[in-house]
Homo-oligomer: A and B are copies of this chain.
Amino acid sequence: MRKDSALSLYYQMLRIRMVEEAIARVYTQWQMRCPVHLCIGQEAVAAGLCANLLKKDYVLSNHRSHGHYLAKGGSLKAMFSEIYGKENGCSGGKGGSMHLVDLDAGILGSTPIVAGIIPVAAGVAFGIQMKKEHSISVAFFGDAATEEGVFAESLNFAALKKLPVIFVCENNYFSVYSPLSVRQPKKRNNLSIARGFGVEGEEGDGNDVEYVFKAAKKAVMYARSLRGPYYLQFDTYRFREHCGPNFDNELGYRTEIEFSRWCKRCPLETYQRKLLHKGSITAKIINEYKTGIQLEINEAVSFAQKSPFPKPGEAFTGVYA
């Protein structure tokens, strides 16, 4: 891993983490009046994956999309404005946290219907292919999304047409409070399933950003060279509650032991230690990063807070193009 790449991966993760934590802090002022699904703990997937994408590449995502949006280059101000329900939000206030978009950055949308964007992302790749463009399409989704039939249907069509699409499953072992064990058979293996459809793939540690980066690099090269779709599954863990700014271990759906085991594998902290250890980064740089990011966040938050709400009539416009 080149040093600048490594620093950039670290920076991306740090930025996502700090943005999510900022949201968690301001959320309890109850001015962000929409559900938020924070990705704290899962930053490595977004950072490692998107580091391989070009601006012209497309990304679609699910309810837990902040990380993907930021890593792909979505506007921070437009995101905060959107979460605050403001006129200049990326979706004009009509979407909120669960519907982020930034066309300039190739982010075509995120939606909270589980698996809803998987076929859409495949369709984007289909459009790319028909138009003979050279970009690729990426779908981010969770482990639960692989239970929906459209997941299988999309794998089938993507393989049939050799579409330039990467399916990225972030397996955080839970669907809300429901563990994998009540939803998927023990012997289920998504990679085998993907291969059964003729889709190449790979699975591994989603908290190791360099691993994610390398696996994604292969996938992107594969898709971009028009060889077909690729399935990536990254095991990771969500630190905060399913939806909202807090922790929720007290609910008892997961054990403190499990939780703290994963905390020790925090993608950001382990990578920071690694880089410090290797001397690739210094405490000073880290602090500079943090100061810079915090400034950016403060600005974006106050920009969003000061921005006007959409005019009432806006509720009724934009139903039809």
B187 and A159 form a contact (CB under 8 A): yes
Q: Does A198 contact B (CB under 8 A)?
A: yes
Q: Does A254 contact B (CB under 8 A)?
A: no
Q: Does A132 contact B (CB under 8 A)?
A: no
Least CB distance, A154 to chain B, in whole angstroms:
9
Q: Does A312 contact B (CB under 8 A)?
A: no
- Kindly state the separation between the CA atoms of A156 and B148 in the bound complex, as whole angstroms: 10
- Kindly state the separation between the CA atoms of A193 and B188 in the bound complex, as whole angstroms: 10
- Kindly state the separation between the CA atoms of A51 and B194 in the bound complex, as whole angstroms: 35
**Among B147, B156, B182, which residue has its beta carbon within 8 angstroms of that of A188?**
B156
Inter-chain pairs besides A149-B150, A194-B196, 7 sampled, C-beta below 8 Å: A147-B153, A147-B156, A152-B152, A160-B182, A185-B197, A193-B196, A193-B197
Q: Which of A148, A152, A159, A188 has the most B CB atoms < 10 Å from its CB?
A: A152
Given the interface contacts A190-B196, A192-B192, does A159 sit within 8 Å of B185 by beta carbon?
A: yes
Q: Does A151 contact B (CB under 8 A)?
A: yes
List chain B residues, Cβ under 8 A from A188. Answer: 156, 159, 196-198
Main SS at interface, chain A:
helix
Least CB distance, A183 to chain B, in whole angstroms:
7
Q: Does A195 contact B (CB under 8 A)?
A: yes
Interface band, chain A: 20 to 34
- Kindly state the separation between the CA atoms of A193 and B197 in the bound complex, as whole angstroms: 7
Least CB distance, A158 to chain B, in whole angstroms:
9
**Among B148, B149, B189, B196, which residue has its beta carbon within 8 angstroms of that of A148?**
B149
A196 and B196 form a contact (CB under 8 A): yes
List chain B residues, Cβ under 8 A from A8. Answer: none
Least CB distance, A104 to chain B, in whole angstroms:
34
- Kindly state the separation between the CA atoms of A182 and B156 in the bound complex, as whole angstroms: 11
- Which residues of A in the span 133-167 have a Cβ within 8 Å of any Cβ on B? 147-153, 156, 159-160
Q: Does A278 contact B (CB under 8 A)?
A: no
- Kindly state the separation between the CA atoms of A159 and B147 in the bound complex, as whole angstroms: 13
Q: Does A186 contact B (CB under 8 A)?
A: yes
Least CB distance, A159 to chain B, in whole angstroms:
4
List chain B residues, Cβ under 8 A from A194. Answer: 196
Q: Does A184 contact B (CB under 8 A)?
A: yes
Residue of B nearest to A186 (CB): B198
